[in-house]
Amino acid sequence: MGAGRASVTPDLTLRYAVIGDVGGHHQALRAELTRLGADPDSGTIPADLRIVQVGDLVHRGPDSRAVVALVDRFLTAAAPGWVQLVGNHEAQYLRAPTFKWHQRLDGETIAILRRWWGDGLMTVATVVPAGDADLLVTHAGLTEGFWRADLGQPASAVRAAEMLNMMGALGRTSIFRGGAMLGGSRSASAGPMWASASMELLPSWLGRRMPFGQIHGHSSAYDWQRECFRAAEAIAARTRLDHDCGHEITSFDGGEIVGIDPGHGAHVPHPWQAWVTSAA
Ligand SMILES: [Mn+2]
């Protein structure tokens, strides 16, 4: 579709930094980008670095408009150095809203999100390298049921990402399929914009063999604010936490699922960092 839709095949010569949900926190995003070596003022990124943001740039925090303007600067000046994925909060403005939210973006900001989506600058999935493995990156994660029934069990993260991006470009509603977080029942086939990590994504892979690992934002198995697991003991027992970065890594047969949603609310209450892989 759009000219901006880049290849999802990872470049092993690059460093990748994957940034979790931003939630309208402009200053926190700027600080992390600067730490990574990017320049928020010029919208430039070092040639050896690729930045992936998992969606949910907007809502919750004080300055969604500035966050979208900042990302637009990078998408304009540094493409393809910035890979923007779509979250359920952006999706509110791309199709009929599916949930009530107390904040509403201004028209200019909405127009930018719609331009990204229409031009293929904002997509559903990408892939980053992790040692010998490829990790699929989506907003909420790929549930076992969606991988099996909707995608037909692709063996590689690259193939899964290509299929998800095609479904997005074609406007397939299944990628927006809700589950427990949209008031439905728990579903092992919730979509990659809405799957709950603790109730749907992680339980769906228990006892199964993962074809490839994943990174996701959107929700977490561990509640970083209350400092306790919200997921069941079977999930907690196979999850290790990086408290300095706000990352949770859950191990399954065949791969790991890395959760990087820092859980920002109206404020940014605890440390967080991008998930970073070094070049081969
Ligand atoms: Mn989300």
**DSSP per-residue codes, the chain:** --TT----S--TTSEEEEE---TT-HHHHHHHHHHHT-BTTTTB--TTEEEEE-S--SSSSS-HHHHHHHHHHHHHHSTTSEEEE--HHHHTTTSS--S--S----HHHHHHHHHHHHHTSEESEEEEEETTEEEEEESS---HHIIIIIT---SSHHHHHHHHHHHHHTT-GGGG---GGGTS---TT--TTT--IIIIIHHHHTTS--SSEEEE-S--SEETTTTEE-S-HHHHTTEEEETTTTEEEEEETTEEEEE------SS--S----EEE---
**191 lies in a domain?**
yes
How many angstroms is it from 108 CA to the middle of ligand 1?
A: 22
**163 lies in a domain?**
yes
How many angstroms is it from 13 CA to the middle of ligand 1?
A: 30
How many angstroms is it from 188 CA to the middle of ligand 1?
A: 17
How many angstroms is it from 280 CA to the middle of ligand 1?
A: 31
**151 lies in a domain?**
yes
**10 lies in a domain?**
no
**26 lies in a domain?**
yes
**Which residue from 94, 127, 100 is spatially nearest to 8, judged by alpha carbons?**
127
State residue 1's pLDDT score: 42
Burial of 225 (0-12, 13-18, 19+ CB in 10 A): exposed
How many angstroms is it from 193 CA to the middle of ligand 1?
A: 7
Q: How many domains does the chain have?
A: 1
How many angstroms is it from 88 CA to the middle of ligand 1?
A: 5
Whole-number Å distance between alpha carbons of 229 and 236: 7
Q: What is the pTM of this model?
A: 0.96
State residue 2's pLDDT score: 46
State residue 280's pLDDT score: 63
Q: Are 28 and 22 in contact (CB under 8 A)?
A: yes
- Cβ-based neighbours of 68, under 8 Å, separated by 6 or more: 57, 58, 105, 109, 112, 113
Low-confidence ranges of the chain (pLDDT < 70): 1-5, 279-280
How many angstroms is it from 36 CA to the middle of ligand 1?
A: 23
How many angstroms is it from 144 CA to the middle of ligand 1?
A: 19
State residue 270's pLDDT score: 85
How many angstroms is it from 89 CA to the middle of ligand 1?
A: 6
Query: What is the residue range of 51's domain?
Result: 15-277
**6 lies in a domain?**
no
Burial of 23 (0-12, 13-18, 19+ CB in 10 A): buried
**269 lies in a domain?**
yes
Q: In angstroms, how far is CA 29 from the centroid of its own chain?
A: 15
**139 lies in a domain?**
yes
How many angstroms is it from 137 CA to the middle of ligand 1?
A: 13
How many angstroms is it from 217 CA to the middle of ligand 1?
A: 7
Structure tokens at 223: 């509640």
CATH of the domain at 71: 3.60.21
State residue 78's pLDDT score: 87
By the CB criterion, residues less than 5 angstroms from ion ligand 1 are: 56, 87-88, 218
